Amino acid sequence: MREETHERLKEIKRSFRSMMNGPVSQSMRDKGTAYKINWGVAFPALKRMADTYGKDYELAIELWKEDIRECKILATLIMPPAEMLPEIVDIWMEQTPTQEMVEMAALNLYQYLDFAPVLAYRWMASDKVFEQIAAYQILGRLFMRKMEPNERGINEFLDQAVVALQSEHMGVRHVAYNCIIRFADMGEMYETIARKAVKSAGLADI
């Protein structure tokens, strides 16, 4: 690690103490959100901090290594998407400790990767809850940006999403439902296809 990065990391970690929100931190612990250290810092404050430091690959890598909630969130904001390699994504996903962090990584970083659609479709078919949640978070954002899948992609998405709607995990059901809504919002044709897929599975209409 370069000395400059080391100093920045120390500076960031020191700054969290003055930004600590005790009640939020305690509430997250009470709900089972486990981090070694959790300062309870609000996302807007972390976003402003990330804007100050700018995109920095080496700093993002070092921040992610810390078992501190705020460091990991900052890492997802500071990592330059163009420099994020697939093997690093896999490592980060394996090391993701909570659903909150899955959602942060997907929304702040993964949706902007050049290989985001490939990543989403791979994770969508996974049996791992966090990977499924990330997949639908990514796809939902891509649909919101009117990135339309091809026919094969549509069929694969709806087949997997309908299964996800019946998942035992509430988080998976929730993101899959929201993702189908985003898909339907792309236009009348997409809405019709989505309604038909959901209805044929015997599920409640979207």
CA distance 75 to 25: 19
Phi, psi at 108, each rounded to 5°: -85, -25
Residue 36: predicted pLDDT: 77
**pLDDT level of residue 29 (50, 70, 90 thresholds):** low
pLDDT band at 1 (very low <50, low <70, confident <90, very high): confident
For residue range 33-54, list pLDDT tens digits in order: 667 788 889 999 999 999 999 9
161: nearest Cα among 179, 143, 187, 186: 179
Decide if pLDDT at 175 tops 70: yes
Residue 32 above 90 pLDDT?
no
